[in-house]
């Protein structure tokens, strides 16, 4: 467990240590155990969706295993993908 | 994972065009992600051809399926014997149309 801090902060800290890039963690249910993470990182370049998810799961495996993190939705983008998504939204 | 369990999964994903390991059943999902994943499969043309397996009814399978493709979460989708991913990836593939193509190919092969 993450001591007195929220699990959400713990998730973000662990991800920040593991992956370089833009990281956002949302608490989906207000219960601090269902999260959506959005990550933009060059680490995802050339990786399949399965490989990208595994990179995100890796630093959180023990929390997924013991149900500290009950549900985790992952949006993993490369900087290039993120750029084109942002453009789409603007136009 | 016991070899019998691995063989069971091997067989199950080979013999069924579309297999989902989920919480609850196709009719009565017991988790939002499982429900959303079944829905994506249906919308992509798998309605009536989904082999769903309730991991809540089988604790050993629930643990083994996580080891099987080194994937720590449930649901898990397999199409034509191939591991597709969980809820996020299945929905992404649905949105791009690739899920429909994969399901059609798997159903055609299954004859």
pLDDT digits (tens, 9 = 90+) for A14-32: 999 999 999 999 999 999 9
Distance from CA of A87 to the nearest CA of B (A): 18
Residue B19 has pLDDT above 60, yes or no: yes
**B89-103 pLDDT per residue, tens:** 999 999 999 999 999
The residue among B93, B95, B20 whose CA lies nearest residue B61 is: B20
User: Does the CB of A62 have a partner CB in chain B at under 8 Å?
Assistant: no
Cβ within 8 Å, pair A50-B73: no
Q: How many domains does chain A have?
A: 1
The whole-number pLDDT of residue B111 equals 58
Residue A2 placed within a domain: no
**CATH label of the domain that carries residue A54:** 3.30.300.90
Coil, strand or helix: which one is B52? Answer: strand
Strands A34-40 and A71-77: parallel
Distance CA B48, CA A29 (A): 32
Residue A2 has pLDDT above 80, yes or no: no
Residue A1 placed within a domain: no
Question: Considering only CB atoms, which chain B residues are within 8 Å of A65?
Answer: 72
The DSSP output letter for B29 is B
The answer to whether the complex's ipTM is over 0.90 is no
**B67-88 pLDDT per residue, tens:** 999 999 999 999 999 999 999 9
Percent of chain B with pLDDT over 70: 99
Note the pTM of the prediction, 2 decimals.
0.91
Residue A65 placed within a domain: yes
The whole-number pLDDT of residue B91 equals 97
Question: Considering only CB atoms, which chain A residues are within 8 Å of B86?
Answer: 53
The whole-number pLDDT of residue A86 equals 85
The whole-number pLDDT of residue A19 equals 97
Cβ within 8 Å, pair A57-B85: no
Residue A38 placed within a domain: yes
In the CATH scheme, what is the code of domain B3-110? 3.40.30.10
Q: Which domain holds residue A47?
A: 7-90
Residue B44 has pLDDT above 90, yes or no: yes
Distance of CA B102 to the CA centre of its chain: 13
Residue A14 placed within a domain: yes
**A33-88 pLDDT per residue, tens:** 999 999 999 999 999 999 999 999 999 999 999 999 999 999 999 999 999 988 87
Burial B67-84 (b: 16+ CB within 10 A, else e): ebbebbbbbbbbbbeebb
């Amino acid at each position: 467990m993450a001591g007195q801090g929220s699990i959400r902060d713990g998730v973000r800290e662990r991800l920040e240590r593991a992956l370089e890039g833009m990281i956002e963690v949302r608490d989906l249910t207000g219960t601090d155990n269902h999260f959506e993470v959005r990550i933009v990182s060059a680490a995802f370049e050339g990786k399949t969706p399965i490989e990208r998810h595994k990179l995100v799961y890796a630093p959180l495996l023990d929390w997924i295993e013991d149900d500290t993190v009950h549900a985790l939705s992952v949006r993993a983008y490369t900087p290039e993908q993120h750029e084109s998504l942002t453009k789409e939204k603007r136009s | 994972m016991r070899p019998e369990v691995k063989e069971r999964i091997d067989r199950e994903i080979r013999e069924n065009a579309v297999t989902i390991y989920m919480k609850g059943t196709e009719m009565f999902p017991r988790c939002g992600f499982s429900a959303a994943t079944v829905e994506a499969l249906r919308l992509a043309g798998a309605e009536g051809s989904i082999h769903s397996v309730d991991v809540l009814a089988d604790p050993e399978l629930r643990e083994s399926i996580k080891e099987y493709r080194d994937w720590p979460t449930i649901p898990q989708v397999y199409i034509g014997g191939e591991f597709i991913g969980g809820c996020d990836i299945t929905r992404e593939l649905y949105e791009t149309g690739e899920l429909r193509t994969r399901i059609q190919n798997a159903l055609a092969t299954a004859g």
